[in-house]
Homo-oligomer: A and B are copies of this chain.
């Protein structure tokens, strides 16, 4: 259907579109660890295939078709992550790179059967919603801890940073999905956050607070 490179571009553009309406060449280059000139080349190609809206110097957005393709890739990625953790017992910090390869397996019939095999899960091991076979999925209504007031309590439900390093840190602190926490104090000096979990106090830096999401 589409080449591996095309799929990766579409996925990157989709991800960046969540933050800004129009996505810039440099943003895509950073996301894919490639050069801006390479991005320009690919954008021309994707525009020709009617997967993105692109005018020179103006940034890009996905067309309806492009968005459909991107969501499908995300569906595949998240279902494979769920499979790896739930069926093959990998840890949540081990699955990203494998799923990155597996998301490009092209058969939709395969992915629908995998979905059924696992009982149509609604979230992947990192708390991200899994689109259904029609591409529908809940918008994430989770909030970063950094955006929550003191004395509010909630349940750890997702992460913004999916890196192994970050997930391993959370694991070590016991800050895993499903845990109930209360925001106790925000240190004004460096915006570190002290939270209470299972009657223990844990201090996390602002960086961590930005990347750890809770449901209220």
Interface positions of A (Cβ within 8 A of B): 84, 87-90, 97-98, 101-102, 104-107, 110, 113-114, 117
A101 touches B90 (CB 8 A): no
A88 touches B114 (CB 8 A): yes
11 A/B residue pairs, CB under 8 Å, sorted by A: A87-B117, A88-B110, A88-B114, A88-B117, A89-B113, A97-B107, A98-B105, A98-B107, A98-B110, A101-B104, A102-B105
Most chain B beta-carbon contacts within 10 A, residue among A84, A90, A106, A110: A110
A87-B117, A98-B105 are known contacts; what are 6 more A-B pairs with Cβ within 8 Å?
A: A84-B110, A88-B114, A90-B113, A97-B107, A98-B110, A102-B102
Most chain B beta-carbon contacts within 10 A, residue among A106, A107, A113, A114: A107
Write the chain B residue with the least CB distance to A113: B88
A87 to B106, CA, bound (A): 19
